[in-house]
Amino acid sequence: MGARVKDSTAMSILVQINARFGAGDPIQELIGLQKEFKIFGNNHSLRNSFALLNIAPPPGEERNRWYGYLDQLQKYGSDKSGVSGHDRIVQEIAKNLESSEPLPMRLAVHHAKDSKAVKVAVETPIIFSPQKYLVVSVPVGPGV
């Protein structure tokens, strides 16, 4: 995101992902879809999995830029040695959705100057809620 997509697009995508993977009915629906269709896994790119779920800007240049950002995550590292940022996200989403106690997921961002690695943790990111989430934090830089 950041230099890849407009600020407004980045914010829209964060809202889309956090709503789609949210607690309750949203995450339950994704658990069912993962069980039936294996949307997330080594046989699908993050670009294609998100496209299938329509997690993207409207068709046009911003959609292409968003997909370009997702593809670029292959070049980023992660907090897991030897695993690209892209693969870390895909693997963690699949593992979570297929686990016996899946968690809702939140996408967060951190400044790429601090770390160009994708980070994954279980946290309680919503200050007024005790709900634990799988939090995926992606590196970003200044917007366009």
Q: What mean pLDDT do residues 114-124 have?
A: 95
Token digits of residue 95: 């593992």
Q: What mean pLDDT do residues 69-81 have?
A: 94
Q: Residue 143's pLDDT is what?
A: 55
Q: Residue 8's pLDDT is what?
A: 79
Q: What is the average pLDDT value for the chain, to the nearest integer?
A: 92
C-alpha span between 32 and 97 (Å, rounded):
9
Q: pLDDT tier at 6 (50, 70, 90 boundaries)?
A: confident
Q: pLDDT, tens digit, for every residue of 45-60?
A: 999 999 999 999 988 8
Q: What is the pTM of this model?
A: 0.92
For residue 86, what is the enclosing H or E element?
A: helix 85-97
Percent of the chain whose pLDDT exceeds 70? 95
